[in-house]
Structure 1
Amino acid sequence: MKPAIYFNELEDDVLQCTLCPNRCIIKPGHVGICKARKNIKGMMYSLNYGELTSIAMDPIEKKPLYHYYPGSEILSVGSWGCNLQCDFCQNWEISKQRPKIINRVVPDQLIEIAKNRNSFGLAFTYNEPSVSFEFILDTARNAIREGIEIVLVTNGYIDEEPLNLLVQSVNAVNIDLKGWNSAFYRKIGGEKKHVLKTIEKALQANVHVELTTLIIPGENDSAEDMVEEARWISSLSPDVPLHITRYYPAYKYDIPPTPIETLSKLWELARERLNYVYLGNIPDATESNTYCPSCGALLIERNGYSTEIKNLDEEGRCSKCGKEIPVIL
């Protein structure tokens, strides 16, 4: 266990966690919504410090990050716990509970593993990384000094003060924007405004940002919502990549997968305002390729997780028309 950083002391040893907008009030001996923060005799502890449930070399496109070292692989690790309550979670075995099998590491060990596997970075993914705040912060600070880049795949549900501290040592994020439907966000235990603030703050901190929206039939699949979502993203930058991803049944959701026709329609609507929109979880979709928004040239061709750079020069410009493309190579 590791003492937590963000909490307030209340009366009778009761604590309020201030890591995320849930602001859990936690009595002695109890945990918060994420299950990874516990009040032990009036002191808040992180229960999952250095606890790994998954570790693998993954294609960077799996995060998904399409404009960040395309075609590379990155050491990806997950812990356990989550601060939202999605009944369609695809990693519920580690987000909803602490698994029986755990590997424990300290930050420098994880950095050495990344070096030994010739990984340019470390991606914290699979479960919600922000609930492992102290471990990620310690690891990120050391990793940056060693030239190891830090990636977060996150729901973006974190308070502003810890976010401001964390992004100082983060290079790239994929933020799961659950959709534009505020009622849907409340259904999964959150408020959309906090995620939007995280996206804004990450961009302001010059972190590479890509967004993912998992489209679930009957929940967040309306054309009107996608138009509003794309309009808001475009107001920040039309160059922010948006991944529109197909839902498949998981955990407590057994409704059929999202129709391809629905995804194609939403893709077309988002492209009216955004330069880089991708479809995910669809095999062989040409909508996963990157095209020049100026001349239409094929820049990066993707077939599953196989990636081939076609018409990008070493400085990230379209070799056909010279347009600068927001891709880190």
Structure 2
Amino acid sequence: MTAFITHDTVKTRYWHSLDDGRIQCDLCPRFCKLHKDQRGLCFVRQNLDDQLVMTSYGRSSGFAIDPIEKKPLNHFLPGTPVFSFGTAGCNLACKFCQNWDISKSREMDTLMSKASPDAIAQAALDYGCDSVAYTYNDPVVFHEYAIDTAQACRDLGIKSVAVSAGYVCAQPRAEFYQWMDAANIDLKAFSEHFYHHITGGHLQPVLETLQYIKHETSTWLELTTLLIPGENDTEAEIEAMTQWVVENLGPDVPMHFTAFHPDWKMLDKPPTPISSLLQARQIALKNGVHYAYVGNVHDKSADSTYCHGCGKLLIGRDWYELSEWNLDAAGCCRFCGVRCAGIFNPKPGNWGAKRKAVIMS
């Protein structure tokens, strides 16, 4: 378990001292260099007494039970409930952030709920959740809290799910993903220009995270790209992205193309037309991606899972509600026997589209 300084403040490991008296955070490729008492861009890591601490351990912006498909994960325990929580802060500066009230918060009062890792794991078990999701803001910035919670969850047979942008350095990445059973990573675009000018980050570290998760861990991986009109939705960019995914990650990594709505600092952009999402999905399928989906819009056909062997419908989805289920107990197509990539229970869950807020005492 992580070492506490105060109830909400814990020591961190990924930093080093600089010759000029500052310390450098080595958790993510931003490498914030901090004077005494200064906080990093994420706001929850601070130079306190010449060491780097996390200031929001055990404090959350809220707890809820969601459908696993909302993360989105379509090939990881479909139909099951996932116990979800996040903290405050983020290590990217996305102008389009749709959780900006949490991720960009500079008010620690945002973190009104408190819970220990053991309490979260026990609550997930008590509510009948198969997994816990580290979500709403990026778990990279609450690295220690997430890992301690994942360890507590594993002791109780509860799986862990990371919803992240994948902007993290190699050593903390390796520590983190040994505890994650599944991850949905935001591949926000496929250009360095977009990452630099729209998110304040860089593309290459994210690609390295994707390759690491896929090839060096047992973590189930899915990808999400929020398509923003005029920014990352050209046919050429989707072609390049999906070709890279197939060549570097393989055809079985599901891709989700989701709709943007105007928010935060991008209020001048129109919502994504469904035609753009469907075009991206078709490009992905053409380039060899076996499972491609649309999100934040209603299209049952493009939300559902099909066998890449015979083309038959395997899992019907209407928003977060499951309908048809044509997988056998081993996760194979009932029609042709080809295995559907993913982690499946013998039978689907029936949680549906419900969202339940949870108050932690």
Shorter-chain TM-score range: over 0.9
265, 268, 283: which one aligns with 2:279: 265
Q: Tell me, what secondary structure is at the counterpart of 1:169?
A: coil
Please say if 1:244 is aligned against 2:257: yes
The amino acid that maps onto 1:304 is W
User: Structure 2 CA distance, aligned partners of 1:268 and 1:66?
Assistant: 18
Please say if 1:80 is aligned against 2:88: yes
User: Structure 2 CA distance, aligned partners of 1:15 and 1:328?
Assistant: 42
195, 205, 223: which one aligns with 1:194: 205
User: Structure 2 CA distance, aligned partners of 1:150 and 1:302?
Assistant: 23
**How far did residue 181 of structure 1 move?**
1.5
**How far did residue 10 of structure 1 move?**
1.4
93, 107, 127: which one aligns with 2:137: 127
Q: Is the 8 A contact 1:241 1:276 kept in 2?
A: yes
Q: Tell me, what secondary structure is at the counterpart of 1:131?
A: helix
User: Structure 2 CA distance, aligned partners of 1:227 and 1:12?
Assistant: 46
Could you say which residue in structure 2 is the equivalent of 1:312?
A: 327
Q: Is the 8 A contact 1:13 1:41 kept in 2?
A: no
TM-score, length-scaled by structure 1 = 0.98
146, 149, 169: which one aligns with 2:156: 146
User: Structure 1 CA distance, aligned partners of 2:150 and 2:264?
Assistant: 31
289, 293, 313: which one aligns with 2:308: 293
Could you say which residue in structure 2 is the equivalent of 1:281?
A: 296
What are the Cα deviations for residues 31-77 of structure 1, in whole angstroms up to 9, with x where unaligned?
A: 11111100012111101111110211100000000000111111011
The amino acid that maps onto 1:315 is A
Q: Tell me, what secondary structure is at the counterpart of 2:252?
A: coil
Q: How large is the RMSD of aligned CA atoms in angstroms?
A: 1.1
User: Structure 2 CA distance, aligned partners of 1:108 and 1:154?
Assistant: 22
Please say if 1:8 is aligned against 2:16: yes
The amino acid that maps onto 2:225 is T
Q: Is the 8 A contact 2:60 2:86 kept in 1?
A: yes
**How far did residue 307 of structure 1 move?**
1.1
TM alignment of 1:1-40, pairs within 5 A: 1-11=9-19, 13-40=21-48
Q: Tell me, what secondary structure is at the counterpart of 2:95?
A: coil
User: Structure 2 CA distance, aligned partners of 1:41 and 1:295?
Assistant: 62
**How far did residue 29 of structure 1 move?**
1.2
160-169 or 283-292, which moves further after superposition? 283-292
Q: Tell me, what secondary structure is at the counterpart of 2:149?
A: helix
Q: Tell me, what secondary structure is at the counterpart of 1:122?
A: strand
Q: Give the gaps of 5 or more residues in structure 2.
A: 1-8, 345-361
Q: Tell me, what secondary structure is at the counterpart of 1:87?
A: coil
Task: Give identity over the alignment, percent.
Answer: 39
Q: Tell me, what secondary structure is at the counterpart of 2:206?
A: helix
What are the Cα deviations for residues 246-290 of structure 1, in whole angstroms up to 9, with x where unaligned?
A: 111111212110122222211111111201000001113410100
**How far did residue 309 of structure 1 move?**
4.3
178, 202, 226: which one aligns with 1:168: 178
**How far did residue 25 of structure 1 move?**
0.4
Could you say which residue in structure 2 is the equivalent of 1:216?
A: 228
Q: Is the 8 A contact 1:8 1:16 kept in 2?
A: yes
Q: Is the 8 A contact 2:300 2:316 kept in 1?
A: no
User: Structure 1 CA distance, aligned partners of 2:342 and 2:163?
Assistant: 18
User: Structure 2 CA distance, aligned partners of 1:16 and 1:309?
Assistant: 52
Could you say which residue in structure 2 is the equivalent of 1:302?
A: 317
User: Structure 2 CA distance, aligned partners of 1:107 and 1:12?
Assistant: 37
Q: Tell me, what secondary structure is at the counterpart of 2:163?
A: strand
What are the Cα deviations for residues 176-204 of structure 1, in whole angstroms up to 9, with x where unaligned?
A: 00011210001111111100111111112
User: Structure 2 CA distance, aligned partners of 1:159 and 1:230?
Assistant: 24
67, 70, 76: which one aligns with 2:75: 67
User: Structure 2 CA distance, aligned partners of 1:213 and 1:285?
Assistant: 19
Could you say which residue in structure 2 is the equivalent of 1:94?
A: 102
The amino acid that maps onto 2:88 is W
**How far did residue 108 of structure 1 move?**
0.7
TM-score, length-scaled by structure 2 = 0.89
Could you say which residue in structure 2 is the equivalent of 1:323?
A: 338
**How far did residue 12 of structure 1 move?**
5.1
Aligned residues: 329
User: Structure 2 CA distance, aligned partners of 1:98 and 1:292?
Assistant: 46
What are the Cα deviations for residues 132-185 of structure 1, in whole angstroms up to 9, with x where unaligned?
A: 001111111222122110100000001010010111111000000001121000
